[in-house]
Structure 1
Amino acid sequence: MLSPLELLELEIEGIINASSENIIIADGDGIILRAVKNSQEMYGISSEKLVGRSVQDLEMEKIFNPSVTLRVIQTKAPVRFMQETGTGKVIMTQGFPLFDNENNIIRVISFSHDMTEIEELKAQYEKLQEKMRRYESEMQQLRDQNITADGIVIKSKKMQNVWELVNRVANSDASVVLEGESGTGKTVFARALHYGSSRKNAPLIEVNCGAIPHALFESEMFGYEPGAFTGASSKGKTGLVELADKGTLFLDEVGELPLSIQVKLLKVLQEKKVTRMGGSKSRSVDFRLVAATNRNLESMVKQGAFRDDLYYRLNVVPIAIPPLRERKEDILQLMNFFLEKFNEKYGSGKTFHASAVETFLNYSWPGNVRELENLVERLVVTLENSLITSGHLPLSQNEKFSSQLPEELPQSGATLQESLEIVEKSWLIRAFRECRSTYEMAEYLGMSQPTVVRRLKKYGINSKMI
């Protein structure tokens, strides 16, 4: 049977080892009498080797840096401060003196709590804050740069070259072909050509050649006389070419023109006259022709799908509009332009998180400016959050965006638990990189903040590994 003293000794040992705090007890001279069992992890030296050592010597060896016990002995008062251990950990430590009847210190009890993880999260938060401030500064600078009312961004050198060429040819009557992928803004440049010319006060007639059924193309383009065909209006109809008189005729998707219409259009361009269907009288027309295509007209000519004589008539001034992926300098400015546009339109106050900006910059944008504009509008309209992060992007978008994460897939033969842990770790790394605090991570991942902290510690996720 244990004696009362042995029982007390056992209880004290149990309390020390069961505590979540790191407890060290020293005598009045700073000699360690007891130490918590996980001292190796905290200080880089086992509890057995700590016992009997002087805290003054341990401070000189940088195992305690500085020693809270030594400061308590010197001041004869409780002391609390941040301490760096021999293992590089940052801990919050507190020391309390115990006095005898003559006011001499007989014991110093210190409690320490590992703050390394919190300090790393704090550093990461400050790093993200600085990044956010940098993005905000960059976006403010972008606001001060030139951007047209229709959203033509001219920050990149490629777009500056295009804009300079548009301005040089705008006031001429030379035919222009705008070449580029869908969504690059060819229509916007066609309008810029018209409104930058001496014809700006006359009509700009826009024709989507891919949207008009072939059977109706001739009557739509060139008009018809009363009774020209069954179902025709008794008053006849003015064609689109006539409507463009003194102005600009813009043929979008010109590569979709039927060959039969190409012949008649060429004749109109050569003679500057148009004859309506069912009529014999020619009407003089004076218009400037601008065409746009996302197809290779030269290849179509070789294949016999487009007339070579019309191609050369159209292709006086070819202007190539670069895709968005080749002018990433414009993405930030476009994001800001469309965000302000739709915030004003819908009375919203959305802003972009740094993670969303990075994700936008890393995406290839196959739909170009039109895709970016549509996505920004969708985010403004559908999101409840005022801060747009990459986690708010649609799943289909996230699958196509280049990820900032190295993908770690479960290996063949892995257990279900191992596979789940790999996936969980991947999501935690994503959240750690994109969020500014563990509270934001908790919202992002749909779990509690304490759980996030435990999981980060479990997988060793910190700013050093990211």
Structure 2
Amino acid sequence: MTGFFLHPNSKEEIIDSYDEDIIVTNHAGIIVKASQISGRYYGIRAEDLLGKCVYDLEKRGIFSPAITPLVLLQKKKVVVIQATPSGRKALITGVPFFNESGEVEFVLSYSYEVAELLVIQEYMKELENEMSLAKEELSLLRKENLTIDGLTMENRTTRIAYETARNAAALDVSVIFYGEQGTGKTTMAKFIHNESKRKNGPFIEIDCETMPEAMFERELFGGEFEQRVTGLLTLAHEGTLYLKGIDKLSVHLQGKVANVLKERRFTPINATTFSPLDVRLISSAENALTESIAVKKFHQDLYYMLHIVPIHLKPLRERKEDLSALISIYLSQFSIAHTTTKKLSDDVFNQLLLLDWHGNHSELKNVIERLVVQSTSPIITAKDLPPEYRKKTDDDLSIIHLEGRTLPSILDDVEMKVLRDAQERYRTTTEIAKFLGISQPSVVRKLKKYTDIE
């Protein structure tokens, strides 16, 4: 904007602006300046506004209300919606200009038609929706990048384990996974192999628990017997060797593995020449090896060779977010596999969340498939649960103690139980609120209430 000067001797000047509706009045309410589009809302030319008194214009219903008297009274910026003779509405903003004595000398006002603002508001809303969609798409892309076939990563500890595995994949170092049977150690080992520079090489797995000790050396090293046997170390050349259940291996064989890793070469049985060792070693154990070392049940040198990048995978009972997601995933998978559509009732879903799942993924998949196959109705209810899984817990509503208690106290227990069940199943307070049919602030308040009680 150009040509705008607040000088008393220039009251006949029109502000050189074709884009903004600007009017300047003095402390007496006389219009001293106006931009070229001023007056369009009132059916008056800008030139005809100059010299007019806003008080007179207000009485005539042209300015309704006038902004200048309000600014003079309040001595600060004022915003009002003004009705115009044409029936249109305009948003008027008045700004005071003070003289050296601190009094309002001029009032600058600028206006926008409300309809124009609504268009801008609608545009901003559309822009906000597009940004929201973009954020959701970005979140989905990130989640896709944080997905391994066979694992879900809703739980924070699972994501940390995954990030550690992903970072270690690029490094040709030993990795060891700790966790109960069925927590996804093999799946994670394969993920590291597929993300490593050895991904085009073989992935060879040895189950140290099930392989007989007498056959272990023969299978691992190979050699010259009645016929030539190619060992797994040779087969894994330029690839990955996964020693599953390394803690089940005898100390004697642990020592042989340690020597091979130390020398980076091995000799097939009955052979006279060395073969180079070019494999990436990944191993797993159900329990921490430090305790086994203390009682001399694990080779100390081998421990240090394996324990470069340790990764701990928690059981499903400690990863409720993952468990909740997996229940839904397996239910969908088996429904599709058996050409049916099954859903879990809320009480069954909550019951499954409360179980210990010592078999982890394997046990969960087995139970969900049994439920899908054996239930006779689309909704799987408590009667469909296998007998060994129909156990009551301390949180069961049916065993809430009633004797000697008031109704408000009993209702508090019921509400707390329902909220905790919902908290196990849903990740956010917004989802919990939708599920329970109450507001999100109510969920937050109630959760805080029962947290404070404890």
TM-score of the two chains, using structure 1 as the length reference: 0.53
1:22-171 matched pairs, under 5 angstroms: 146=144, 148=147, 150-171=149-170
Deviations 1:334-361 (A, max 9, x none): 1121122222222222222212211122
- Return the alpha-carbon distance in structure 1 between the equivalents of residues 212 and 315 of structure 2: 29
Q: Give % identity.
A: 35
Give 1:252 deviation, angstroms. 0.7
Q: Name the counterpart of 1:187.
A: 186
Change (3 A) 1:155 1:196: same
CA–CA separation in structure 2 for the residues paired with 1:326 and 1:199: 33
1:325 is matched with which residue?
317
Structure 2 counterparts to residues 418-437 of structure 1, below 5 A: none
Judged with a 3 Å threshold, the aligned counterparts in structure 2 of structure 1 residues 401 and 330 are, in CA distance, closer, same or farther, namely farther
Judged with a 3 Å threshold, the aligned counterparts in structure 2 of structure 1 residues 184 and 402 are, in CA distance, closer, same or farther, namely: farther
Q: Could you give the per-residue CA deviations for residues 122-174 of structure 1, whole angstroms, max 9, x where no partner exists?
A: xxxxxxxxxxxxxxxxxxx99x9547352211111111111111111111111
Distance 1:217 1:401 in 2: 45
Partners of 1:392 and 1:183 in 2: how far apart? 24
1:67-466 equivalent positions in 2, closer than 5 A: 146=144, 148=147, 150-226=149-225, 234-399=226-391, 404-407=396-399
* Matched length: 265
Conserved 8 A contact 2:203-2:242: yes
| In 1: Cα distance, 2:340 partner to 2:294 partner | 51
Which deviations, in whole Å up to 9, do the C-alpha atoms of 1:245-302 show, x marking residues without a partner?
A: 1111001111011222112111111122121111121111211000011022111111
Cα RMSD after superposing both structures:
2.6
Q: Is the 8 A contact 2:208 2:246 kept in 1?
A: yes
Q: What TM-score results when the alignment is normalised by the length of structure 2? A: 0.55
**TM superposition shift of 1:310:** 0.4
CA distance in 2, matches of 1:148, 1:345: 22
Contact kept in structure 1, 2:148 and 2:191, CA below 8 Å: no
Q: Return the letter of the residue paired with 1:344.
A: I
Distance 2:374 2:216 in 1: 40
Contact 1:338/1:373 (<8 A) preserved? yes
Report if aligned partners of 1:364, 1:401 keep a CA contact under 8 Å in 2. no
In the aligned structure 2, how far is the partner of 1:260 from the partner of 1:236?
Answer: 25
CA distance in 1, matches of 2:205, 2:316: 24
For residues 213 and 403 of structure 1, the distance between their equivalents in structure 2, rounded to whole angstroms, comes to: 46
Q: Determine the C-alpha separation between the residues in 2 that align with 1:171 and 1:294.
A: 25
SS of aligned partner of 2:399: coil
Label 1:160 to 1:277 Cα distance change in 2 as closer, same or farther (>3 A): same
Q: Which amino acid aligns with 1:204?
A: F
Measure, in 2, the Cα distance between the counterparts of 1:182 and 1:283: 34
Displacement after TM superposition at 1:222 (Å): 1.1
CA distance in 2, matches of 1:245, 1:219: 17
Q: Distance in 2 between matches of 1:303 and 1:159?
A: 31
Deviation beyond 6 Å, 4+ runs, structure 1: none
Unaligned runs of 5+ in 2: 1-138, 402-413, 419-454
Secondary structure class of the residue paired with 2:197: coil
Describe the SS at the equivalent of 2:363. Answer: helix
1: distance between equivalents of 2:298 and 2:362?
A: 27
RCO comparison, higher one (Cα < 8 Å, 6+) = 1
Contact 1:363 1:401 in 2 (8 A): no
How far apart are the structure 1 equivalents of 2:383 and 2:352? 12
Aligned mates of 2:180, 2:222 — CA distance in 1? 31
Give, in angstroms, the shift of residue 315 of structure 1.
0.5
